[in-house]
Amino acid sequence: MTSKYVTDIGLEVHVELATRTKIFCACSTRFGGRMNAHTCPVCTGQPGALPVLNKKVVEYAIAVGLATNCTISPISKFDRKNYYYPDNPQNYQISQLYLPICREGAVTIQTPKGKKQIRIGEIHMEEDAGKLLHDANANTSLIDYNRAGVPLIEIVSMPDMQDATEVIAFLEVLYDTISYLGVSDCKLNEGSMRVDINLSVRREGTETKGTRTEMKNLNSFRAISRAIEAERERQIAILERGEQVLLETRRWDDAKGASHGMRSKEEASDYRYFPEPDLVPLVIAEEWIAEIKSAQPEFRQEKRNRFMTEYELSGYDATLLTESRALSDFFEQVTAYCHNPKRVSNYLMGEGMRLIRERGIELKQLPFTAEHMGELLVLVDEGTITQNVAKELFEKLFDGDFEPRSYVMEQGLSCVSDTLELEKVIAGVIAENPQAVEDYRNGKQKAIGALMGKIMQQTKGKAAPDVVLPLLKSLLVL
Ligand code: ZN
Ligand code: MN
């Protein structure tokens, strides 16, 4: 029955901007901190306090607008959105309704059916609200205004998405773009990116969109997928019964796997918007826009393609290495030293990622320089050390930086490829492991692995495998 229906989904995505100070005052935007420590008369809505616009917020909003192919409005204005809620000390939110800063953009997503354009209606700037903390035991609610006045941009898409896969692809493009710009960390689970879903269904073949519902603040891809699926089915069931979908805001309860109606959806007129009288209209010079545009980074898709051609990496490697700008930058810095992109990629994606996870650190907290990682890999490339030794030294770099080349010399970790010296070790291993030798001579190829292991053990991993293996084989058949 569901195949007779088409789903139309549009998103409103709030993104917290990573400015140092709030949008209309000089209070810190730092997450956490003692409750209400980052507040002042402006962000707590004291009578007579006046907002002053943070220029960085405008710069970041323009940067996101340009990266999502929007037109930047030469004149934009702020408006008051009036509503009462205890986390909103002014009883209004300063937002933009009539003249938002960015309009009519679009991004391209990759779907199972190919590329698709998702239009962006507008991007506007606004302030965040505080946080309510409900203490059920004490039957009390507390308010923390540290978040009040933290800058947000709201990205409003057109209802161009048809299912959860497209929604997630769209959010991933936003994530890649915004985090590459460095204007937000876009963490869904920490609330620096919050997604509201507007969804409606219509019978296949009809053009007019159905009545939509809105689900607010979904904070994981899983919750988004489940909420979309459940809401689509709920609306279809209503239409199948011959009833009408109500225009309303619903809350998705991910634990229950169901949503419930909260309130009838408000329209702009419910908020009695009017131009913000405490702020002048914002006139944006073309030179400033050009300046922001010229400072835009290479974005993930371009970078991924360049990595495949310039470094001859597979699509898989290039995709992983460009997951964050920091990772791709580090990769390029290391490669600049050792000129072996494939090896750098292998070490970073394999041992590197494992150690980063194990130590619970972030890439920017690596205790060693790209130069020293590069030097270590050069030692492998030129045959000075074995992969075994390199892996040990790589792990050691995570304990603290050192110069790999001089360390290898001091500690005598160079490869042993001296045939006479190796022959002695091999002869000893053969004498001590008669069973394995017997097995090999009887045709058990695997037995050679055990012997190699013993040789590596005795040489502390320094024996050059390409020298040892033929030598061992020749001694075994004697
Ligand atoms: Zn403040
Ligand atoms: Mn908003």
Q: Tens of pLDDT along 318-373?
A: 999 998 899 999 999 999 999 999 999 999 999 999 999 999 998 888 999 999 99
Low-confidence winner among 7-16, 188-197, 264-273 (lowest mean pLDDT):
264-273
Residue pLDDT, tens place only, 265-279: 677 678 899 999 999
CA of 85 to the centre of ligand 2 (A): 14
Report the share of the chain in percent with pLDDT over 90. Answer: 67
Residue pLDDT, tens place only, 28-42: 999 878 999 999 999
CA of 153 to the centre of ligand 1 (A): 18
Residues measured by CB to lie within 5 Å of ligand 1, the ion: 25, 27, 40, 42-43
Which residues share a beta bridge with 143? 132
The per-residue pLDDT for 355 is 94
Answer yes or no: is pLDDT of 224 > 90: yes
CA nearest to 13, candidates 180, 209, 161, 229: 161
CA of 126 to the centre of ligand 1 (A): 15
CA of 258 to the centre of ligand 1 (A): 38
Angle formed at CA 329 by CA 324 and CA 333, multiple of 5 degrees: 150
Arithmetic mean of pLDDT, 418-424: 80
CA of 416 to the centre of ligand 1 (A): 65
Task: Give the global pTM.
Answer: 0.80
In angstroms, the Cα distances linking 36 to 53, 211, 236, 445 are 21, 41, 46, 70
Residues measured by CB to lie within 5 Å of ligand 2, the ion: 154
CA of 42 to the centre of ligand 1 (A): 5
Answer yes or no: is pLDDT of 3 > 70: no
Answer yes or no: is pLDDT of 1 > 60: no
Answer yes or no: is pLDDT of 388 > 90: no
Residue pLDDT, tens place only, 240-256: 999 999 899 998 888 88
Low-confidence winner among 51-65, 166-180, 413-427 (lowest mean pLDDT):
413-427
**Burial class of residue 1, CB neighbours in 10 A (0-12, 13-18, 19+):** exposed
- Mean pLDDT of all residues in the chain? 91
